[in-house]
Each structure stands twice: as structure tokens, then as C-alpha cells.
Structure 1
């Protein structure tokens, strides 16, 4: 049966709509183009330790991988800072894998992103391991909707620089918005404690605006940690006011009063600090993750238990030297 041009166009559009509806109904929006980054889902959620998880995955795809055979080898680190990215060695030379990124958060559990050195390597991997069985799970592999920063740096360096500039601006905006919200809350609490407007503004003016993260301002709300000068609340009656001055090193969150926790806060890091350097200091069988906040020169080091974190803190002490810098370590606020 022959159709005229208008009819053929109509059917083509109809099939396109049906196909799009099928994609949406399965919650799968196909990537518009290939790249160096693959998205993997339906993965097991354990082990929680990042390094152990990566080694387990590498063992499933390449039992001869050197990081699988020698667990004393530190996993490679890729430096991404400012508008530059410096790739480290391969995680897996056979499949030309550069990095594997995953999260332990509930919404992202069972998912990861794998970055390859080029598009061809990523396509070969997807064809070879689509539907692979990984620790009892049938893994689904598809092109990532967005390139990883590392993949972007390798394939589109100019776009990578633009993204990093925007990312920096966005992060600064987020931090400033957090500061504003927390300071509003601080003003409210100080008003409830009976301080007059002049005293409140005097205290607020002494709070550092470049807050490291929520931890610092929450400490400020609770016991005025983070202020250079702390004024105690004035009683509502006309009794004599008293003030207490407490000096804290500028740029450091006072964590000495924090109770033991699984998370350590590492501060005053040199700007050139790498995750590899921190792993050399804090690595151990119970280490879960190290999250660096380079722009604030700090890192969070997470362990599986309070006991493990305490052992690590006892090993380093509350201060230690790194590249001639005094590094400050303590329990993060939980």
C-alpha cells in the first residue's frame, strides 16, 4: 500500500510520539549524544567504603586489575581545581577507566558514574558489560545525561573552564545564602534572650561571614563559637550586664566541645592538599570516605564507627604538621 508524503510524515510523527511516551513511562530519557561518561544503575549498595567498593567493581570487570591484586596501592586521584584538571593514572588499563564516582546517599545508592579516557572505550565497555551480574545484581548501563567534570576536561576543555567558573560562583552564592539564613536565625534567638537591637547587631557584626559550612554557624547559635567577641544575653530587668570575651583563632571552627562522632573535621589544610595526602594520614580499614572542600581548605573524614574515628584522632592528635602547616583535627558536629 502506498502513502503520499503527508501521510508518511503523519505516521513518522505518530511513531515518534509513541516512542517518546514509552521512554517517559519507563523513566528513561535517552542521552542526546555519546561521551566519555557512563551511568550505571541497579548496583549493590555495599560495601560502604569507597575504596573497597571500587576494588570490588574492578574485580568483577577485570580480575587481573592491579588495584584488586594489591590492596596496599592507593587508588589514583585526579586533580580538579580552578579551571584545570590533571588526570591521574588509569583505574583500569584494560578498559581505560579513569574514575568511578558513587554516593552512599539514599537517593543515589546503587548508582555510579564511570569515566573513560575516550568515547570509544566507553562504548566498548557498555557493549561488553550491559546486563552484567555484579554481586547478584543485573547492572543497567547507559550514557550519562551529562559528562563528568573529568570527562568534560578531556573532551571539551573550553566548556570545562566555563562550567568551573559557573560552579565556583554557584558555590559562593550557596554559602552566602546559608550565612544569611543562619544569621537571621541567630538574630531571632538573641532577641528571645533579651538583647537589645544594638547588642544584637554588635554580635552579628562580629560573626565571620565566610562561614565554612553549616557546622560553624550552628555552633555559633548554640554557644557563640565562631565569634571573636561574645556578649552574654542581658537580663530583661535593668540589672548590670556582664560580658565574656572568648578568643578563637580566625578561620577555624572550634570543635573542642563537640561530642565524639564518626566524622572528623580537618581544618587549615594547605591549598595544594590532595585526597591522596589525606588518605596517607587517615586511611584504615574502617575509613568510609574523605570529602574535601578545597575552597574552604578543610575536609571531612568519615569512619564506620565512633571508635574508629577516635582511634584516628588519637593517632594524629588535635594538631599535626603537613607541608609546614598546622592542621587542626576534631570531631565534626553530628
Structure 2
């Protein structure tokens, strides 16, 4: 059978650019491998091609579509909006075709499962839960990011599964609750002693006014929510330190930089070891529900169901 897609030219009824007539399926498979792996170099062994061949095929497809598909970075590539659009068009069909052909270009070997989520959650919860499957032969490709970009990427076919800290809008994406994550107010033991030694009268919020606040974003999303839920008031403090992610927040607070609000799973080890102290134990701690989101058509790869079922089972103990 000739590796050509049906002849489609021009624009669709919604104004979206369509594929050129007789686009080569091999080029589209190469495009999807680069899109999902994030680099020409990583895509090459998955396809059984050399890196220069992958580069040449992407260049040819860009010429055929008249669109730049990837922005070249010092390490890897970044998909353009046109690439997200194209992936949304071709990913379901190519995945279904790969399943019919016996697992795609890897000579019968199942395609990798493309999984994404917040970096801290991936490291602390998700990857340890999936380690037995990997030891048993599962192939996994993991990406990290914030909820909104990851949900947009799964809509366009870049990921099979996403662990998200919120439920996606609409009904296009299937999602199930995984677990509730508790947020805790923590500081180093030295700061905790200073806070508890303050004269009574102002309460904990007043005692924390002179303690540096460490956060991963200037708008203090987790801390603001904690203050609103637990104390029933607006947080007026400004961040003393902002860092790129929650791992960096944990490191800074462990080192005595100040206080913060962190997911319990992330700081549990530090609490157990005495490196951190819980500053407050509310009757109803603020919770954040984690959701497992699946791309439509992802079940064409049976390993997606294995990962999904394993995470749902493991989340019962999170």
C-alpha cells in the first residue's frame, strides 16, 4: 500500500489549514515522533532513522505545508502553533494505524506511553508507582509542565495521559479523580520556635509577618488559597524569595530561608526527619484534587490502559 494520505488541499470549513495533497505518511510519522519526543535526536532511534534523515524529513514537511513546525532550541525543539494544529489532525489516525500494523515502526514493539504532569508530582508519586511496569518492559516518555499548557498539548495529541491539578473544561477529554493532595504550612524548626515564642494576641498570621515567605510564583497561588481556606482572610504578605518550582521552595525552606505552603507528599520526608515543622494543623486542611486525563484514541496503545490502571490503583495510598 502506498504511504500517502488522501488528497486534501486548501482550508477547512473552520478556516484551519489542511494537509497538502498526497502528504507522505512517513513524513507525518516522523513529525509526530519529533512532536512527542521534543527533539530530532530523540525521535531518530524510535523511527529507526538517522538524525540527519529526521531533520531532512521535517524540513520537507515544512516545505509541503508552508508552515514552520518547530522552533529550534539549544536542546531539542519547541512545537509551533502550526505543529499543535497538525498534531491534532493526524495523531488519532496515525495511532490507530500503528495499532493495526502491530505497534508501529518498532517491529511489533508497543509504542511508548506519553505521560505528563507537574515535575514534583511525577518524581514523588507517579514515576515510583510506574517503576514495576517499566521493569516489565513498558516504554515511557515523560514531560513536565503546568496544567494549562499540558492540557492544551494533550488536546493536540502530544501526550496520552496527563496528571493534572484541575479537571479539564468541556467533555472532549476523559478525566477521573486520582487523589486529594493536602497542603501544609511549614518552616524550619528554628523559624517555628521563633513563631511560637511570639507574645499571644495577634495569632499565627501576625506572628508570620516578619518571617520571609518562599514561593514559586509572585502571585502566591498556594499560599493565598491556604490563607483564604484556613484563616478566612486575604494573605497580604509579599514573597521574600521566588524560585522556579516547588522542589526549590522545599530546598529553600529546609535551609531556613523562611516559611511556605507545600503539598504534603513533597515535604513529608522532611517533616518525618525533623528538618521541617508543621506550623498549623487545621481541622479541615485545604485539599487539591489530582485528575488523570486521557487523550481520545489513546487506548489504541494497550500500554496506556496499563499505566492508567496502575496509577488509579496506586493513588489509593497517596
Question: Structure 1-normalised TM-score?
Answer: 0.26
Whose Rg is larger? Answer: 1
Greater RCO, CA 8 A, separation 6+: 2
Larger proportion of helix: 2
